[in-house]
């Protein structure tokens, strides 16, 4: 057989037993074996760690339709995780079945690349939080459900500009990453969090109890105030957050709820910062 770069072939002598007759060197690379590895007595499904249920699906499909394609994840002999596209085609002459032919493509790098593209399309690269593009799409779906209760909360890092001016933007980035890390751990599984822009963040809380929402956000505010940042060669410093809350109940427009959360946030700032305010109006 030809040693294809991205396609690999096995011929099996029986639909029932799937014993391998031959293979090429490209398959050796994918599986993580050498040319002298005693592979031929091995069954196809054992080689690629295919479950009994999936194996039965494969056999049924190729007998009925003549071919079957699926993606499969497995860990090879070197401990490397792989994502494969496997295409099975039956070999027969009229009604006589001889076995089947498998073409295997290693999709691992392609899938990693696609996952990275998806991540950067939907997430803020600095903090890993959702970006505005994803977030507004998510909130639009939330608002399609007229019975959906919940809260939109906006928080802002107090005097963040002073941190950038005093300690530099690298330290400012470290602060943003740390605050985001704490937010993710604090609000899961209640929330979807977004870096709204700069040092402003949006949180959608799928909760209906106002007192619980206030308690959850106030404990977050307290956690942030207890963090100590230590810049190299300088004295430690801390930071606080101001938070505004607006209810989604009976709201017909997303922008109005965000505007209410923003007004509550600035009320927190005007009242001395480092506090939680619920929009009332």
- Active-site residue set: 199
Q: Are residues 78 and 46 in contact, defined by beta-carbon separation less than 8 angstroms?
A: no
Count Cβ neighbours within 10 Å for each residue of 210-245 and write b for 16 or more, e otherwise.
eeebbebbeebbeebeeeeeeeeeeeebebbbbbbb
For residues 218 and 91, give the distance between their C-alpha atoms in angstroms, rounded to a whole number.
Answer: 67
Token digits for 130?
A: 């959702």
Phi and psi angles of residue 67, each rounded to the nearest 5 degrees, phi first = -155, 165
The three-state secondary structure class of 202 is strand
Using alpha carbons, select from 176, 177, 203 the residue that is nearest to residue 190: 203
For residues 239 and 94, give the distance between their C-alpha atoms in angstroms, rounded to a whole number.
Answer: 77
Token digits for 58?
A: 């494969």
């Amino acid at each position: 057989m030809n040693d294809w770069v991205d396609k690999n072939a096995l011929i099996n002598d029986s639909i029932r037993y799937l014993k391998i007759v031959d293979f090429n060197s490209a398959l050796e690379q994918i599986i993580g074996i050498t040319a002298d590895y005693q592979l031929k007595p091995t069954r196809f499904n054992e080689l690629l760690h295919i479950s009994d249920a999936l194996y039965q699906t494969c056999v049924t499909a190729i007998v009925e339709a003549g071919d079957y394609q699926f993606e499969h994840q497995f860990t090879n002999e070197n401990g490397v995780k792989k994502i494969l596209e496997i295409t099975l085609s039956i070999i027969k002459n009229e009604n006589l079945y001889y076995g089947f032919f498998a073409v295997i493509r290693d999709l691992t790098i392609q899938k990693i690349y696609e996952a990275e593209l998806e991540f950067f399309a939907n997430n803020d690269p600095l903090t890993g939080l959702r970006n505005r593009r994803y977030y507004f799409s998510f909130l639009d779906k939330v608002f399609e459900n007229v019975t959906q209760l919940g809260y939109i909360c906006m928080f802002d890092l107090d005097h963040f500009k002073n941190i950038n001016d005093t300690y530099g933007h690298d330290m400012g980035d470290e602060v943003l990453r740390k605050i985001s890390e704490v937010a993710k751990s604090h609000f899961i599984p209640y929330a979807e969090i977004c870096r709204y822009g700069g040092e402003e963040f949006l949180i959608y809380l799928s909760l209906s109890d106002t007192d619980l929402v206030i308690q959850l956000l106030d404990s977050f505010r307290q956690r942030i105030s207890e963090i100590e940042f230590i810049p190299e060669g300088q004295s430690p410093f801390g930071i606080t957050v101001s938070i505004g809350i607006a209810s989604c109940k009976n709201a017909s427009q997303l922008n109005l709820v965000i505007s209410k959360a923003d007004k509550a946030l600035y009320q927190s700032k005007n009242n001395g910062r480092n506090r939680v305010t619920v929009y009332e109006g």
